[in-house]
Amino acid sequence: MEQTLVLLKPCTLQRGLVGEIISRFEKKGLRLAGMKMMQLTDAILNEHYAHLREKPFFQMLKDSMMATPVIACCLEGVEAVRVVRAMTGATNGRNADPGTIRGDYCVSNQQNIVHASDSLETAAVELARFFKPEEIFSYTPSNMNFMYALDER
Ligand code: IDP
Ligand code: MG
């Protein structure tokens, strides 16, 4: 099973969409292995968005991510990284396909509801950035035999 990081961004808290977004991941069948509210800082965002530090929108992006606390989630499932990215959709909500989270809930390139890790390697680094090991829980969902075939997990 893979684990991946999802951040519900400040726009999602402000717009009262937290439950709806988490519900989509739950209904899909991903296991919630960790979840917490946290206020992001300049330091953690400099790391998290290091690949964007030369972009003209970098400070604006960081400010938007510090506008309220965020909710960090660790989601688990077979190929969870790819599954969650597919559910998230293209970065710009105006380009994201209907049916994806960004396609259904936003019209912005920046205020785009969620962050989702983009590879297994990134997911490991990002989960360690946002969660202590003891904040990630392992438990077996009772419906596991109905979520996956025996040879899938
Ligand atoms: P991703 O979130 O789809 O992985 P990245 O390219 O990693 O996209 O960018 C991280 C975040 O930076 C995006 O989710 C979005 O909030 C913001 N961002 C990306 N490109 C732009 C832009 O051109 N203008 C404003 N914000 C942007
Ligand atoms: Mg990214």
- CA–CA gap between residue 125 and residue 66 (Å, rounded): 21
Query: Domains in the chain, start-ordered, CATH in brackets?
Result: 2-139 (3.30.70.141)
* Atom 12 in ligand 1: residue holding the nearest Cα: 110
Q: What's the mean pLDDT when you consider all of the chain?
A: 97
CA 2 to chain centre: 14
Question: How far apart are the CA of 112 and the centre of ligand 1, in A?
Answer: 8
Nearest ligand 1 atom, CA 110? 16
* Helix, strand, coil share (%) of the chain residues, nearest 5: 45, 20, 40
Percentage of residues of the chain with pLDDT beyond 70: 100
Q: Which pTM was predicted? A: 0.97
pLDDT tier, 54 (very low <50, low <70, confident <90, very high otherwise)? very high
Tell me the average pLDDT across 62-66. 98
* 153 pLDDT more than 90: no
Query: Are 93 and 68 contacting, i.e. CB atoms less than 8 angstroms apart?
Result: no
Nearest ligand 1 atom, CA 64? 16
Tell me the average pLDDT across 84-111. 98
Query: Are 101 and 113 contacting, i.e. CB atoms less than 8 angstroms apart?
Result: yes
Residues with catalytic roles: 115
Least confident window among 59-63, 87-91, 138-142? 138-142
* Atom 1 in ligand 1: residue holding the nearest Cα: 91
In the three-class reduction of DSSP (H, G, I as helix; E, B as strand; rest coil), residue 81 is classed as: helix
C-alpha torsion angle, residues 113, 111, 44, 62 (rounded to 10) = -170
Query: Are 5 and 130 contacting, i.e. CB atoms less than 8 angstroms apart?
Result: yes
* Atom 26 in ligand 1: residue holding the nearest Cα: 110
Percentage of residues of the chain with pLDDT beyond 90: 99
Question: How far apart are the CA of 142 and the centre of ligand 2, in A?
Answer: 33
21-31 confidence digits (pLDDT tens)? 999 999 999 99
Question: How far apart are the CA of 116 and the centre of ligand 2, in A?
Answer: 7
* 86 pLDDT more than 90: yes
